[in-house]
Amino acid sequence: MAAISRADAVWEGDLTSGKGRVKVASGTFNEFPVTWASRAERTHGGTSPEELIAAAHAACYSMAFSNGLAKAGHHPERLNTSAEVEFVPGTGITTITLTVRGHIHGIDAGEFQKLAQEANFGAHAADLRAQLLRGSLTHARCARCAARRFTRISATWIAESLVAVFRPSL
């Protein structure tokens, strides 16, 4: 049986002076405000759709990486994943950068890097790209983000970083 998640948004007014509210059906957190300024300028507090995408991507990637590590016989004590989503007004999302640090006993840098890269392909949030076409508010399509991937492993093997840069096709 499929798990269905839902969120609701209300927008009042035009784009630049209007405001909106978003809430998630689970009730995990309270309804929160959104504005164009909080989205395009990131200087007015509040959240944005891109911040929510970043949260979803970081969580999804952490689960995929944890699963890949376990299947390879490694059991992470902790994974810390950060996702940054770059939004350019008039263009949309241009870059998603993931950074993960892990505390995993018995893994070398090469294995960490290999499994971290494989997790990119298992993270379903990376697969979904909603696109509003001109004249249609109902079209969404799934497309794997075309990706150039950059990885760096630190000198310490307990905590390291994978930075994967996704450049969605527009």
Residue ranges of the domains in the chain?
1-47, 48-166
Going by C-alpha positions, the residue among 72, 62, 63, 68 that lies closest to residue 101 is 62
Torsion from C-alpha of 83, 97, 76, 60, nearest 10 degrees? 60
At the fourth CATH level, the homologous superfamily of domain 48-166 is: K homology (KH) domain (3.30.300.20)
Residues 6+ apart with CB under 8 A from 146: 166, 167, 168, 169
What count of other Cβ atoms lies within 10 Å of the Cβ of residue 54?
22
List per-block mean pLDDT (blocks of 10 residues) for the chain, which spans 170 residues. 90 95 91 90 80 89 91 91 86 82 85 83 49 28 26 28 44
- Which string of b and e fits 92-103 if b means at least 16 CB within 10 Å? ebeebbbbbbbe
| pTM exceeds 0.85, yes or no | no
- What per-residue confidence (pLDDT) applies to 123? 59
148 secondary structure, DSSP code: E
